[in-house]
Amino acid sequence: MNLLFIFFTGITIGISGAMIPGPLTFFTVREVLKTNRFASLRIILGHIILEFVLIAVIFLGFQRFLSSKEFLLAISIVGGVALIIMGIIIFLTAAKMNLPDKGSGSGFSKGLILGGIFFSIISPGFIAWWTTIGLSTVMKALLFGVSGAVILTLGHWLADILWYWFLSYAIEKSRRYLSDRSYQNVLRFVSVILIILGIRFLII
């Protein structure tokens, strides 16, 4: 195993995780439709900031606490309730929302970075992945020194950026085919998915 292989390993595990739909995905869909594809860059920056902090916390010795049943249960409850409430709000207000003019909005709302952090951390699978698969992969990369862990992480983050940029680009291009009614139906669909995810977090 060399550093190039480690880099592509980071990309592979990153893209495999990023492609699984979750709260962050549906938040990105909603925000890109509201503004433009550049919104996804702010969102994924929040996700990366959280991952950086989480890796640091794990290496400071908090892996056992983060992977404990009590902590994951608390995250599941908080995340589940938050997703259900947000889903209900979006569903109830969808009829009042119109599709913005193409290119309107800067895509750099102050809430996007915080949204990237919030919608990542409320997913129990995110923390569970980093305290198991993520940590073990980083530890193996450390056999090649700090540079191995850094290169692995950079590959992982590059995969996140590339996938969400591709997703947001596709969403933005699809806007030309959406009417206000279609846009409202997309919001309703997203809201229902968020509610379902919230319920799933509460019962599992």
Band (78; pLDDT cuts 50, 70, 90): confident
Residue 99 has pLDDT above 80, yes or no: no
How do residues 162-177 score in pLDDT, each as one tens digit? Answer: 999 998 998 888 877 7
Q: How far apart are CA 98 and CA 34, in angstroms?
A: 9
Q: What is the DSSP string of 112-130?
A: HHHHHHHHHHT-HHHHHHI
Among candidate residues 202, 178, 171, 187, the one with its CA nearest the CA of residue 87 = 187
Q: Which helix (H) or strand (E) is 188 found in, with range?
A: helix 180-203
Predicted pLDDT at 52:
92
15-61 pLDDT tens trace:
877 877 788 988 898 888 888 888 999 999 999 999 999 888 888 88
Largest alpha-carbon pair distance within the chain? 55
